């Protein structure tokens, strides 16, 4: 590789209000600053904003962390996949707050983390506590996700569909988008065409929902619709998950964009060099479906699955294990799914 000229601009850093020295003079000001960075990370899919938020919190004395700051740090650690630390922060919030919105948010975030980790009993417990404080579509979605991962996908989809229908008159776009996103995932699990309808509704309500956009694009690829997936990822190349899906869609639609593929390869190479490869799932997917490196893909998919066990993580590990000839690992995963009574139309690899 040729050396990079000293004045070459590798990347344009996003605007940020965080400086090298502490800028927040109060806990409230710091909370507002961190919220801003977390929101920017969600909207732009840029992990650097998470770094800015972490730096701001690291400059604040631990002894002066308020429940709100602990909640924000828990959310930050969740985004950084530091789940043990996130759970510790959220539990501290629950001990400090016996009621109120901070407690409700802590329960909901805890339910989400436990779901991702495959702790379904713990996730259900957190959903129940959240529902006591904040009943409605978000609580119903919380239960539906746990039910779907534990052998009750059809019933969960039908119950949540009824709840959404009964709440048509309510004006709560956040709750409705949350429920529609959950319904989309459940419909995909059940192999229902309605998944597309639900994802389209989510993106109409919130075009910036990068998580739903990626799930929808991935579903389109599995439905052998690479052109549609390509359209959905266009303009979102800065987001790792969507960039990888675009590369796969280009490959499957027999379109050649070597410049884009080279930029994506360089992005992952730089992340590995810096030691901050945050999205192991995206890298494993890239190695499997773009780089044609099943053994390396299996390695990173396995590392990812140790902490993240969402359907996309499970499906990726199944595919990578099958491609790499790792029959023992594949069987262990099939056994884990059976133990949790989890079946999914997106897992054809589980069929003998």
Which domains, from first to last, does the chain contain? 29-134 (1.25.40)
pLDDT one-digit tens code per residue, 220-241:
999 999 999 999 999 999 899 9
* 105-109, 169-173, 315-319: least confidently modelled range: 169-173
The answer to whether 182 and 145 are in contact (CB under 8 A) is yes
Q: Which two tokens stand for residue 220?
A: 């389109």
Q: Which two tokens stand for residue 6?
A: 């000293």
Which pairs from 340-344 meet CB under 8 Å and 24+ separation?
340/118, 340/120, 340/149, 340/150, 340/151, 341/150, 341/151, 342/149, 342/150, 342/151, 343/151, 343/153, 344/153, 344/189, 344/311, 344/314, 344/315
The answer to whether 70 and 93 are in contact (CB under 8 A) is yes
Arithmetic mean of pLDDT over the chain: 89
The answer to whether 137 and 178 are in contact (CB under 8 A) is yes
What's 20's DSSP letter?
Answer: S
Q: How far is CA 324 from the centre of its chain?
A: 25
**CA 52, 56, 60 angle in degrees (round to 5)?**
165
Residue 7: pLDDT above 60? no
3-state SS assignment for residue 347: coil
What pLDDT shows up at residue 278?
67
> Minimal CA–CA distance to 177: which of 185, 152, 32?
185
Question: How many residues does this entry show for the chain?
Answer: 352
pLDDT one-digit tens code per residue, 191-225:
999 999 999 999 999 999 999 999 999 999 999 99
What pLDDT shows up at residue 51?
92
pLDDT one-digit tens code per residue, 80-90:
999 999 999 99
What pLDDT shows up at residue 25?
75
In the block, residue with structure tokens 């995206």: 282
Q: What is the mean pLDDT of residues 107-130?
A: 98
> Minimal CA–CA distance to 79: which of 89, 66, 65?
89
What pLDDT shows up at residue 172?
83
Max avg pLDDT among 16-20, 166-170, 205-209, 292-296 = 292-296
d(CA 86, CA 169): 36
Residue 17: pLDDT above 70? no
What pLDDT shows up at residue 8?
26
The answer to whether 264 and 270 are in contact (CB under 8 A) is no
> Minimal CA–CA distance to 163: which of 189, 141, 194?
141
Q: Residue 14 — very low, low, confident or very high, per pLDDT cuts 50/70/90?
A: very low
d(CA 171, CA 168): 8
């Amino acid at each position: 590789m040729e050396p990079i000229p000293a004045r070459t601009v590798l990347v344009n850093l996003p605007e940020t209000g965080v400086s090298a020295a502490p800028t927040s003079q109060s806990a409230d000001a710091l909370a507002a600053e961190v919220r801003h960075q977390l929101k920017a990370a969600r909207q732009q899919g840029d992990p650097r904003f998470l770094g800015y938020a972490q730096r701001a919190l690291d400059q604040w004395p631990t002894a002066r962390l308020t429940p709100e700051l602990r909640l924000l740090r828990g959310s930050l650690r969740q985004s950084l996949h530091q789940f043990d630390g996130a759970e510790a922060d959220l539990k501290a919030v629950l001990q400090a707050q016996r009621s109120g919105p901070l407690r409700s948010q802590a329960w909901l975030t805890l339910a989400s983390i436990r779901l991702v980790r495959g702790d379904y009993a713990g996730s259900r417990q957190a959903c129940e506590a959240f529902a006591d404080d904040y009943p409605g579509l978000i609580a119903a979605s919380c239960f539906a996700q746990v039910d779907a991962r534990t052998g009750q996908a059809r019933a969960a989809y039908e119950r949540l569909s009824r709840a959404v229908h009964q709440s048509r008159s309510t004006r709560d776009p956040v709750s409705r988008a949350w429920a529609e996103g959950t319904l989309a995932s459940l419909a995909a699990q059940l192999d229902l065409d309605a998944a597309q309808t639900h994802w389209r509704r989510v993106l109409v309500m919130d075009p910036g929902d990068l998580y739903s956009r990626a799930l929808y694009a991935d579903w389109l690829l599995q439905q052998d619709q690479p052109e549609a997936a390509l359209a959905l990822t266009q303009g979102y190349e800065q987001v790792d998950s969507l960039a990888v899906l675009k590369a796969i869609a280009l490959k499957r639609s027999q379109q050649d964009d070597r410049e884009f593929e080279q930029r994506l390869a360089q992005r992952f190479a730089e992340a590995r060099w810096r030691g901050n490869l945050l999205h192991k799932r995206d890298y494993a997917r890239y190695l499997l479906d773009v780089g044609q490196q099943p053994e390396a893909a299996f390695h990173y998919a396995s590392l990812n699955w140790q902490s993240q066990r969402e359907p996309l993580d499970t499906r990726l590990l199944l595919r990578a294990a099958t491609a790499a000839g790792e029959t023992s690992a594949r069987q262990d995963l099939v056994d884990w799914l059976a133990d949790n009574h989890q079946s999914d139309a997106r897992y054809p690899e589980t069929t003998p």
